Amino acid sequence: MKERKLTAMLPPIIQSLLKSEGTPGESGQVNLVQTQMSWILFAGNLVYKMKKPVDLGYVDYTTLEKRQYYCNREVELNRRLCPQGYLGVSTINLADGEYSIDGDGEVVDYAVKMKKLPQEKMLDYLLANNNPTADMLSQVAERVAAFHKKAETGPHIDPFGSIQAIRFNTEENFTQSIKYADKVVSRDTLDRIKDYTNRFLNNNSALFESRVKEGHIRDCHGDLHSSHICFTDELCIYDCIEFSDRFRYSDTAAEVAFLAMDLDHYGRADLSQVFIQRYLEMTRDSQVETLLNFYKCYRAMVRAKVNCFKLDDPYVDSEEKQRSLLKAQQYFDLAESYTLQKPWLLVNVGLVGSGKSTLAKELARHMGIVVISSDIVRKTLAGIPPVESASQGMDTGVYSPDFSRLTYETMFNQAASWLKKGVSVILDATFVLALSRKTAYEIAMKYNAGFAFLEYTISDEEACRRINHRKLEPGNVSDGTTQVYFKMKSEFEPLDKTEAQQRVIIDCAETTAENLAKVRHFIFNRYRS
């Protein structure tokens, strides 16, 4: 019933094409995906992308001639990075009251015709299923670096890298986002992001000028994020921006920052750094690192506002709007995190089953933090797959005191390496011993990082319930048991008064969102520097 109601809300041309008779493809079923600007029809091995007749200010598809022009432009531009995926432009025809693709009758619209790419090989799918490798991101970096080297540049493109143009783009973000203040994002967050953006622009005018003079302003992809990357036999980077030269003509550093930010958004700041470092090795463009957080912040704001726009789209159903709301809030959080002036070291302190890993993953997604998990480090050192049990009994095997010390030492070394690069870290372990907490604090001080303990409180009953339930979850990497819980509880060394001053209490009776907000409040309001 719900599906029929939603279909009835669609324009007649789309309703008709959803019937397989008029839509070519190997499969008899046609499926629809919508964006703010497009209707995308999936028909077997083919995809047809039609442009909605909308004028959003930054894009105007209101006439047939414009839609034809931009369909042709989309094919031309996307063949630069995905020649095998773009097959051409199809006509939408009307004859005897029936619509068809590449059929007979009057041409009433146009669609970009594409080869369907395998969903399971899309980078966003791989990220959601924890499958991408460092080598894959290195491959993307190499492809993007080679593309940037050959991408068009010149006097007609250079002005888009001027500080005036960049200021216009950033100000547009704030102008278009302000209507969502106190509905999707707090005004304080928007103010922090705007203050950071303006300060960076005011303090780095010479840097932006040099980017133009040195030829770094290019005809780029313009929308380089994980859902536009597919690891087919030949790497395919598709769906670039065709509707606005202004959004595509940009500093190559801004393009690198877009994908780096998106990897942060998926909680994989580690892969983000792999991508960045390989790109720098390929291009020798040392200025990228200085510009990275600025452009990450800008790109996160773009993604936030695009998701906000869906909240006003009458063709987007309520479930999709709710997903867009949550995404927008996450992107605003991420944008704010890039305004921090130094990295942070967060240290989980709590017993098994208290929700440490759950909050660590959310912090990674909302703040671009690298998660260093004791469970994964321990099993990696032992040569054991993360989801395989390594338990041989308490205080034996990989859980012996000596192996536990090695695990913590490895975590500390990894944390130091990331902090040295200016990347924030959360250490996801129990930290029941005061000595291990002291070592973590000393590492943060050595690298001038912000610091906080996240101390988890939970009842015995709830902890045991979670531990027993977790055993049934696919992909669980923890070997924690109720016996381990009570043993750790007996060995726990409480935080002293000094440690308590750098502590955020994580109440496991509260939601993950509430605890996430408490950590962010501590970072942004108590220790802003």
Q: Can you list the pairs that 93-99 forms with residues at least 24 positions away whose Cβ atoms lie under 8 Å?
A: 98/16, 98/21, 98/22, 99/12, 99/13, 99/16, 99/17, 99/22
At 1, the pLDDT band (50, 70, 90 cuts) reads very low
Position of tokens 């931009």? Answer: 70
Residue ranges per structural domain of the chain? 2-116, 121-337, 344-526
Architecture of domain 344-526: 3-Layer(aba) Sandwich (3.40)
DSSP 373: E
At 7, the pLDDT band (50, 70, 90 cuts) reads low
* β-strands 98-101, 86-95 pairing: antiparallel
Q: How far apart are CA 292 and CA 259, in angstroms?
A: 11
pLDDT at 5: 41
Q: Name 355's Cβ contacts closer than 8 Å, sequence gap at least 6.
A: 456, 458, 466, 506, 508, 512
DSSP secondary structure string for all residues of 495-508: --HHHHTTEEEEET
CB 137 within 8 A of CB 99: no
Over residues 389-403, the mean pLDDT reads 76
The whole-chain average pLDDT of the chain stands at 92
Over residues 31-47, the mean pLDDT reads 92
Q: How far apart are CA 346 and CA 359, in angstroms?
A: 11
Answer yes or no: is pLDDT of 255 > 50. yes
Comparing 397 with 150, the larger pLDDT belongs to: 150
- For residue 258 the two structure tokens come to 């877009």
- Yes or no: domain 121-337 corresponds to CATH 2.30.30: no
pLDDT at 56: 85
pLDDT at 105: 95
Q: 314-338 burial, b if ≥16 CB within 10 A, otherwise e?
A: ebbeeeeeeebbebbbbbbbbbbbb
Over residues 167-183, the mean pLDDT reads 95
pTM of the entire predicted model: 0.90
Longest dimension (CA), the chain: 82
Over residues 125-152, the mean pLDDT reads 96
The per-residue pLDDT for range 327-342, each reduced to its tens digit, is 999 999 999 999 999 9
At 357, the pLDDT band (50, 70, 90 cuts) reads very high
Report helix, strand and coil shares of the chain as percent, to nearest 5.
55, 15, 30
Q: Can you list the pairs that 494-498 forms with residues at least 24 positions away whose Cβ atoms lie under 8 Å?
A: 495/349, 495/434, 495/437, 495/453, 495/455, 496/434
DSSP H helical ranges for 131-204: 134-150, 163-177, 187-203
Comparing 413 with 316, the larger pLDDT belongs to: 413
C-alpha torsion sign, points 274, 277, 279, 281: negative
Over residues 433-454, the mean pLDDT reads 97
pLDDT at 396: 74
CB 157 within 8 A of CB 219: yes
The DSSP bridge partners found for residue 111 are 50, 90
- What SS3 class is residue 33? strand
Computed over its alpha carbons, how large is the radius of gyration of the chain?
25
Over residues 140-162, the mean pLDDT reads 97
pLDDT at 4: 41
At 9, the pLDDT band (50, 70, 90 cuts) reads confident
Q: Can you list the pairs that 495-498 forms with residues at least 24 positions away whose Cβ atoms lie under 8 Å?
A: 495/349, 495/434, 495/437, 495/453, 495/455, 496/434
- Percent of the chain at pLDDT > 70 equals 94
pLDDT at 478: 67
Comparing 310 with 211, the larger pLDDT belongs to: 211
